[in-house]
A = this chain, B = another copy of it.
Amino acid sequence: MIAKLKRMLIGERMATKAIVHEKLSNAEGLAILGVDSVSSTAYATEEILRALIPAGIAAFYLSVPMAIVITVLIFLVSFSYQQVVHAYPQGGGVYNVAKKNLGEFPALLGGSSLLIDYILTVAVSIAAGVAAITSAFPALHQHRIAIGIGIIVLLTWMNLRGVRESGKIFALPVYLFIASCAALIGYGLIAFFTGPLPLLPAAKSAHSGGEILSALIILRAFASGCTAMTGIEATSNGVPLFKQPESENAAKTLFRMAVILGTIFAGITFLAYQLGVTPSEHETVISQMAHALMGNSILYYVFQGSTMIILLLAANTSFAGFPRVASQLAEDGYMPHQFLNLGSRLVFANGILALSGLAATLLYIFNGSVHALIPLYAVGVFLGFSLSQLGMIIHWQRNKGNTGKMLITFIGFAATVAVFAIVFATKFFHGAWVLVPAIAGIIMLMKKIKRHYTDVANFLSLERNSLPRVEPNRTMVVLVSEVNRAALYAVHFAKIFQPAHLRAVHIAVNQEETEEIRAKWTSHVPDVPLDVLTSEDRDLFTPIITYLKAIDGMWSDDSVIAVIPEFIPENFLHNILHNQTALRLRYIIESDPELNVETLNVPVKANTPFTGQTPIEKAA
C-alpha cells in the first residue's frame, strides 16, 4: 500500500540503463550552470545598500565604486576557475580538488562548506524568489514562509521524480531574465544620459542612519556585495556536461558568464544609486527600480516573474549538486551509505530529502529573510573559493604549470582569501560565527563515520582467516506467548530440524497464568517440555535472555536457536493492534553481546488460508 502511494507520487521504477548523459551546447551550459551565478544579481545590490544604511543614504554613492571593484573580482575569480576547468575536466568541485592536493582535513572542510553552501543556495534563492513575488503582490508578504516551504516541497517532488536538467527548459527563463535586465539597464542608461531620471519618493524622506561612516561599515557593505560572486564555481563542477572539447567550451562559457554577471550587477547598482532606491522590508531594490522605470505595466510583472523563476532554477541546481557531493562523501565513507542509494527514479533520493529538510528548516529559522541568511552564505562560498585556489596552487606546483597560470591562480587565491577574511570578520557577529561550530561538528562527525565504516570493513574482511566455531548439534527453544496454532506450528516446524534438544519457554506474570498455560500445553504438546518462568516485574526480556544463556551453557557441542512464532496480520496497518513483542524479542536476542543464539522466525499469515493437513496432537 505504501509502495503504491510512493509509485503514484514519484512514478514507476526506472531501469539503471535509462541514465542518459546529456551533452549541452554552450548556450545551454551558460543557462544551466550560470543560473546560480547570474541569479545573485537579484539581491547583491540590495545587500550593499542595506549594509550602508547605518551611515545614512548619503553613503549610498559608495555602492558604485564597490560594484566596480567586485566586478573586477568576478573576472579575476573567473580566470582563476578557468584554470580549474582545464586541470579537472572530470568536474572539479572543491571537495575533489582539495582531496587530491591538500589532504583529508582540507577536503572535509571543503566538502562540508560545499554542502552548507548548497543548502544556503536553496534557502537564499527561494527567499529571494518569494521576495520577488511579494514585491509584486504585497498582500502575500505575511505568507512568505509558507510560500517558500511550498516551493521547496514542489522542487523536492520534481527532483524525486527525476526531472533532468534539460537545457531547453532552463534556457528560456534564464535568457528572458538576462534580456529583461539588459532592457532595464539600457533604458535606464538612455534615460540617465538624455534627461533627468525619475527620483523615487523614498529617497526624499531619507533618514540618516545616525552612525558615522566608518571603515567597518564600508568593509561590511563590500562583503555584502560579494554575494554577487556566489555560484561562479558551478561551471567548474559541470565540465563533463559540455560537448567536446569539454574544457575549452566550459572555459569559454565561464568567461561569457562573467561578462553577463558583471554587466548586470554593475548596471543595476549604478541605476539603483541614480534612482535613489532605498531598501525596504516589503519591496526588493530591483523591484523598486523596475517600478520606477516601467511603472505598473505588464513589463514590470514579466521582469518580476522572470526574476522569480531564475531564482527557483538557481535553487534547483542545488538539488543536483548536493546529492552528488553527498554521494561522493558517502562513497569515501564520510557520510552514511544511504546517500549512495540510487533511488527508484535514478536520483539520490536521500540526498534530495536531506537537502530540502535542511533548507526548509533554515528558511523557517531565519524567517524567510534573504538579508539574515546572507552572512552564512557569503562566508561559506568564499571559504570554498579559497580552498579551491589553494588546491590549484599545489596542483600547479606538482604538475609544473607555467608561470602565467601560476600567477593567475595566485592572484585569484590572494583575492578570495582577502575577501574571505573581510566577509568572515565583518559578518562574524551577524551570524557567521555559527559556521565555526557547525563546520567543526560536521567534520568531526564525518571522521567518526569514516572510522566506523573502516572498523566494520576490517571486522568483516576475509583476510582474518577465521570464523566463530559452529557447533554441530542443534538445541531449539520455541518462545511461546500463548498456546495457539502459531506456537504449535512452530513446534512442528522445529522438529524437522531434528534438534538434539527441543524445549519451549513461556514467561508468566503471575501464578494463575503459570498453571493455566502449563495445563493447556501438556494437553496439546505432551512430548516437548515447557519451562514456565515467572516475571515478578512483568519484564519479558530479561528472563528470556537469562534463560537462553543458561540453555547455551548446558551443552558444549550445540548451537542454540530461538524459534519465534509470529502472527503476521493481513493488513500492514493492523500491526498497530499487536504488541510487536516478537520483533523486540528478536532484536534483543540478536543484539545481546554475550548471547550466541540464532533466531528462526516461523511466520503464520492471516492472509493465507490455514487449511493444513497436520492434525493438532492431543494427549491421550
In contact, A579 and B616 (Cβ under 8 angstroms): no
Chain B hits for A594, CB < 8 A: 608
- Say yes or no for A190: interface residue by CB 8 A criterion: no
- Say yes or no for A407: interface residue by CB 8 A criterion: no
Assuming the contacts A470-B496, A567-B456, asked whether A608 and B579 have C-beta atoms less than 8 A apart, the reply is no
Chain B hits for A76, CB < 8 A: none
Chain B hits for A297, CB < 8 A: none
Chain B hits for A452, CB < 8 A: 569, 574, 577
Chain B hits for A465, CB < 8 A: 615-616
Q: Which of A56-64, A287-295, A597-605 contacts B (4 or more CB under 8 A)?
A: A597-605
Chain B hits for A344, CB < 8 A: 537-539
In contact, B485 and A579 (Cβ under 8 angstroms): no
A468–B493 Cα distance when bound, in Å, is 10
A337–B462 Cα distance when bound, in Å, is 47
Assuming the contacts A14-B537, A15-B536, A537-B16, asked whether A576 and B613 have C-beta atoms less than 8 A apart, the reply is no
In contact, A459 and B536 (Cβ under 8 angstroms): no
In contact, A606 and B456 (Cβ under 8 angstroms): yes
Assuming the contacts A453-B577, A459-B606, A538-B342, asked whether A601 and B590 have C-beta atoms less than 8 A apart, the reply is yes
In contact, B598 and A602 (Cβ under 8 angstroms): yes
- Say yes or no for A208: interface residue by CB 8 A criterion: no
- Say yes or no for A213: interface residue by CB 8 A criterion: no
Assuming the contacts A16-B537, A462-B484, A467-B616, asked whether A599 and B598 have C-beta atoms less than 8 A apart, the reply is no
In contact, B567 and A593 (Cβ under 8 angstroms): no
A466–B613 Cα distance when bound, in Å, is 6
Chain B hits for A430, CB < 8 A: none
Q: State the Cβ distance, A526 to closest chain B Cβ, in Å.
A: 14
* Smallest Cβ-Cβ distance to A536: which chain B residue: B15
Q: State the Cβ distance, A612 to closest chain B Cβ, in Å.
A: 4
- Say yes or no for A341: interface residue by CB 8 A criterion: yes
Chain B hits for A572, CB < 8 A: 591
A613–B465 Cα distance when bound, in Å, is 9
Q: State the Cβ distance, A574 to closest chain B Cβ, in Å.
A: 6
In contact, B484 and A461 (Cβ under 8 angstroms): yes
- Say yes or no for A193: interface residue by CB 8 A criterion: no
Select which of B16, B496, B614 is within 8 A of A559 by beta carbon: B496
A538–B19 Cα distance when bound, in Å, is 13
In contact, A605 and B593 (Cβ under 8 angstroms): yes
In contact, A614 and B462 (Cβ under 8 angstroms): no
In contact, B462 and A524 (Cβ under 8 angstroms): yes
In contact, A537 and B13 (Cβ under 8 angstroms): yes
- Say yes or no for A497: interface residue by CB 8 A criterion: yes
In contact, B13 and A612 (Cβ under 8 angstroms): no
Interface flags for A374-386 (1: CB within 8 Å of B; 0: not) read: 0000000000000
- Say yes or no for A464: interface residue by CB 8 A criterion: yes
Select which of B13, B16, B509, B610 is within 8 A of A459 by beta carbon: B610
- Say yes or no for A195: interface residue by CB 8 A criterion: no
Interface residues of A in 225-266 (CB under 8 A from B): none
Assuming the contacts A462-B484, A466-B616, asked whether A600 and B598 have C-beta atoms less than 8 A apart, the reply is yes
* Smallest Cβ-Cβ distance to A603: which chain B residue: B590
In contact, B599 and A601 (Cβ under 8 angstroms): yes
Chain B hits for A455, CB < 8 A: 606
Chain B hits for A600, CB < 8 A: 561, 598-601
The residue among A337, A456, A467, A536 with the most chain B CB atoms within 10 A of its own CB is A467
* Smallest Cβ-Cβ distance to A586: which chain B residue: B601
Chain B hits for A496, CB < 8 A: 470-474, 559
A489–B459 Cα distance when bound, in Å, is 13
A578–B340 Cα distance when bound, in Å, is 11
In contact, B607 and A590 (Cβ under 8 angstroms): no
In contact, A612 and B537 (Cβ under 8 angstroms): no
- Say yes or no for A17: interface residue by CB 8 A criterion: yes
In contact, A615 and B472 (Cβ under 8 angstroms): no
Interface flags for A561-579 (1: CB within 8 Å of B; 0: not) read: 1000011110010101111
Select which of B469, B484, B488, B566 is within 8 A of A614 by beta carbon: B469
Chain B hits for A539, CB < 8 A: 13, 344
- Say yes or no for A522: interface residue by CB 8 A criterion: no
Q: State the Cβ distance, A542 to closest chain B Cβ, in Å.
A: 9
- Say yes or no for A596: interface residue by CB 8 A criterion: yes
Assuming the contacts A460-B567, A593-B608, asked whether A493 and B598 have C-beta atoms less than 8 A apart, the reply is yes
In contact, B485 and A614 (Cβ under 8 angstroms): no
- Say yes or no for A449: interface residue by CB 8 A criterion: yes
Q: State the Cβ distance, A586 to closest chain B Cβ, in Å.
A: 7
Chain B hits for A593, CB < 8 A: 605, 607-608
In contact, B466 and A336 (Cβ under 8 angstroms): no
Assuming the contacts A466-B614, A577-B337, asked whether A601 and B603 have C-beta atoms less than 8 A apart, the reply is no
What are 29 A-B contacts with C-beta separation under 8 Å? Answer: A14-B537, A16-B536, A16-B537, A17-B536, A449-B577, A452-B574, A453-B577, A456-B567, A459-B610, A460-B486, A460-B567, A462-B485, A462-B524, A464-B610, A466-B612, A466-B615, A467-B485, A467-B492, A468-B610, A468-B613, A470-B489, A470-B492, A470-B496, A474-B496, A474-B497, A497-B497, A561-B600, A586-B601, A599-B603
| Interface of A toward B, CB cutoff 8 Å | 13-17, 336-338, 341-342, 344, 449, 452-453, 455-456, 459-462, 464-474, 482-486, 488-489, 492-493, 495-498, 509-510, 524, 536-539, 559, 561, 566-569, 572, 574, 576-579, 586, 590-591, 593-594, 596, 598-608, 610-616
Sample of 6 further A-B pairs with CB below 8 A, known A462-B483, A466-B611:
A337-B577, A337-B579, A338-B579, A464-B485, A599-B603, A600-B601
6 nearest CB pairs, A to B: A460-B484, A468-B612, A593-B607, A466-B612, A469-B613, A467-B614
